[in-house]
Amino acid sequence: MMTQTRNDHEECWLQLPWLATGRLSPGERAAAEEHVRGCTACAAELERQRLVCAALREPERVTHAPGPSFRKLLERIDAAGAAPAPEPVPDLGAHRAARTRRLRPAAAWRPPGLAWAATFVFALGVGMLAPTFYRWSQPAYSTYTRAAPAPAGVLHIAFERSLAVGDVEQLLRAAGARIVEGPDRNGIFGVAPAEESTDAGAITPRMRALAARLGSDARVRWLQPLPATAAEPGADRTAAPH
């Protein structure tokens, strides 16, 4: 056995917590174990370290569910309008073309609240949308009637702020919807019928049925109105948002 020096002892003493937790490198561990075998003080301290370690790793008696804390944090993020990183102002045409490929819409450039929707649809309406889209079924949304609606195939929706991320997913799944955009900094998602591609570029009966289902859910804070069009006979009535 090697002679124990004072240096060995001091070095080993400092390393004992990690000898107890098994987090020394193989070399350090071999040296420390060698010292402990010949040093009663270190051997006793190692026992105490193991005791402390076991006590602090006892299973918890009380666990806290993360859900409520996470909801508080999301509220704070939404209140601050915090996007993780600023995004460049997108080209609207490119945005529309890329819409179905991107999970996340450009968020940073939108003005707060619902105002962004009007800006958005108005800008698109300038050259891209057919005149039949100008007719709206909901007088409550008359502010939008001079603009064209948002691109067909994607329905914009916002949920109660208190709704957890998991609840939003559950709600959408139950309604037969999938998320194709968002949420943006205002909590607005773009959704589409789960079984349908958004490439169709038209308001399909499935889309109208989905809007009706979502519009009747009390947890939906806002739903973008769909245009009523004569071109789609037999389509469901547009969902009535509240």
Residues 148 and 133: their CA atoms lie apart, in Å, by: 6
Tokens 């800006």 sit on residue: 119
Burial code (b: 16+ CB inside 10 Å, e: under 16) for 66-105 equals eeeeebeebeeeeeeeeeeeeeeebeeeebbeebbeeeeb
Residue 33: name its binding partner from Zn ion, another protein, none (Cβ under 5 to 8 Å by kind): none
Q: Among 48, 146, 161, 173, which residue interacts with another protein (rule: CB under 8 A)?
A: 48
Residues 191 and 198: their CA atoms lie apart, in Å, by: 9
Residue 21: name its binding partner from Zn ion, another protein, none (Cβ under 5 to 8 Å by kind): another protein
Nearer to another protein, 163 or 203 (CB): 163
Residue 42: name its binding partner from Zn ion, another protein, none (Cβ under 5 to 8 Å by kind): Zn ion
Region 11-30 residues binding another protein, contact defined as CB under 8 A? 13-15, 17-18, 20-24
9 interacts with Zn ion by CB under 5 A: yes
Nearer to Zn ion, 8 or 184 (CB): 8
* Cβ–Cβ under 8 Å, residues 16 and 42: yes
The DSSP element (H or E) to which 171 belongs, if any, is helix 165-175
Least CB distance to another protein at residue 58 (A): 5
- What length is written for the chain? 242
Binding mask 35-74 for Zn ion (x = CB under 5 A): ----x--x--------------------------------
Residues 91, 157, 118: CA angle, nearest 5 degrees = 50
User: What backbone torsions phi and psi does residue 51 show, to the nearest 5 degrees?
Assistant: -65, -50
Interface with another protein (CB under 8 A):
13-15, 17-18, 20-24, 44-45, 47-58, 60, 63-64, 66, 69-70, 72-74, 76-77, 82-85, 103-104, 107, 164-166, 169, 183
